[in-house]
Amino acid sequence: MTVPLSGAPDELRAVRAEPPWGSTPWRAHSLIVALASRITPKLAWVDGTGKQPADRPTGLRCRRWMSTLRPVVFGFALALSFAVAACSSMPRSVDSETAGTGSTGAQATTGGSSGSGGSGAGVPAGCELGTSAISIAWDAANEQPAAFYATSEARALADNVLYYQNADGGWPKNTDMASRAQAKAGSTIDNRATTTQIEFLGRVYAANGCPQYRDAALAGVTFLLDAQYENGGWPQEYPNPEGYHAHITFNDDAMIHVMQVLRAVAEGAPPYTFGDEALASAAATAVQKGIDCILGCQIEMDDGHRGWCAQHDEVTLEPAQARTYELPSVSGSEGARVARFLMTIDPPSAEIRAAVEGAMAWFEAVQLTGIRVETVADASQPSGEDRVVVEDPDAPPLWARFYELGTNLPIFSSRCEVAECEDDPFFMRRYSLAEIENERRVGYAWYGNWPAAALAEYQAWKQKYP
């Protein structure tokens, strides 16, 4: 059988509806977009298991080559399409609504929206380029009162979001989209990138109906569908992920955020009401594949305990290393978010129930009591401060970020930047926070209460599903 690289149906890569302005130039644009979508097919793996074939290095090289070529061809086609539209869109005395607003930002060159916010003449009323000053922080973009999303300020922020959208439909991380002052970068799902932008554009589109925001949101969802591995996981970056960025990424809840968005798209839940039935069906399929991947990645331990690493190998599904201090391990942080997501599935299958039960048993077994973590001023340290573990019999339970595979001992690590790390990724592994370098000791969350919420929700879940 031929196994496609991703689950997005072909029709989702074509223009989904006739633009409301309906002019001949924009019909030409739509045709070129559709053709580009179809002449840049995705690489298929011929493997009955649905996993990458045994010649993994060759497969990855081929995949990266195709992933590199596809945006180039697509970007060239888009440039041609907009040239056709621009050269043909001279002012006319009839049909004042036929001048285009600009197409989806995902169809621009890397790091820029083709329409840069849809500022052309003749755009639908109320959809002109937002000119208001942006007063809210980007981090709070999805936390505003409903009335905000119909304002000129919301459109100005949405235009910036289109500006930063890449040709593949995704967005960069750690970018303040309240301005255009930052450098553009590649697409990722790390640090809530792409999922946050899709949600915001959905809110703005629902408030004002401007098609450029709908199209950009659709392109973002299609990016998520394209990025999914056939085994159901998502890499941290796409396309062309390299190194640990290619791993299935639970780290910082990246994959769970994607699945939450796609589930909302599948259900047509606000603000994800911009899709059609084909998109909803594709999103539902992707979510189910993601659930299967979560179950396949489980680390099964003694006594029925189960957990997950922060990242798993994209082929074998085994626990994998990310940065040099993020070692293969069982995660006290990411595992909690995974378990909480599984508890939202109604009704849970027998496999899901076993995964949840095993995870909760493990969280109970590895909780740390009688200690708390303090940050203190310390002029003798390079950072001027230190983080120390102190005894406190009244402190609430804590969990370590990482537990050693096979022993369940908390593990810690400095950045591993010596030659020995090439042969032994565990060379800098230590068993107490005090043993690692100050830079990592104060610069990373080694302890937290992440499973506390999962354990609280588990009580209600267990009553519902005894």
AA letter at 222: T
Residue 243 region by backbone torsions, left for phi larger than 0, else alpha for psi between -120 and 50, else beta: left
Phi, psi of 398 (to 5 degrees): -125, 165
Q: Which residues does residue 400 pair with via DSSP β-bridges, in sequence order?
A: 447
Whether cis (ω within 30° of 0) applies to the bond prior to 319 is: no
Active site residue 92: no
Active-site pick, 160, 166, 191, 208: 191
Active site residue 323: yes
Active-site pick, 27, 64, 180, 323: 323
Please state, in angstroms and as integers, the Cα–Cα distance from residue 452 to each residue in 67, 242, 390, following that order: 41, 34, 20
Secondary structure string (H, E, C) spanning the chain: CEEECCCCCHHHHCCCCCCCCCCHHHHHHHHHHHHHHHHCCCCEEECCCCCCCCCHHHHHHHHHHHHHHHHHHHHHHHHHHHHHHHHHCCCCCCCCCCCCCCCCHHHCCCCCCCCCCCCCCCCCCCCCCCCCCCCCCHHHCCCCCHHHHHCHHHHHHHHHHHHHCCCCCCCCCCCCCCCCCCCCCCCECHHHCCHHHHHHHHHHHHHHCCHHHHHHHHHHHHHHHHHCCCCCCCECECCCCCHHHHCEECHHHHHHHHHHHHHHHHHCCCCCCCCCHHHHHHHHHHHHHHHHHHHHCCEECHHHCEECCCEECCCCCCECCCCCCCCCCEECCHHHHHHHHHCCCCCCCHHHHHHHHHHHHHHHHHCECCEEEEEEECCCCCCCEEEEEEECCCCCCEEECEECCCCCCECEECCCCCCHHHHCCCCCEECCHHHCCHHHHHHCCCEECHHHHHHHHHHHHHHHCC
Handedness of CA 94, 14, 202, 131 (dihedral sign): negative
Which residues are identified as catalytic?
Answer: 191, 323
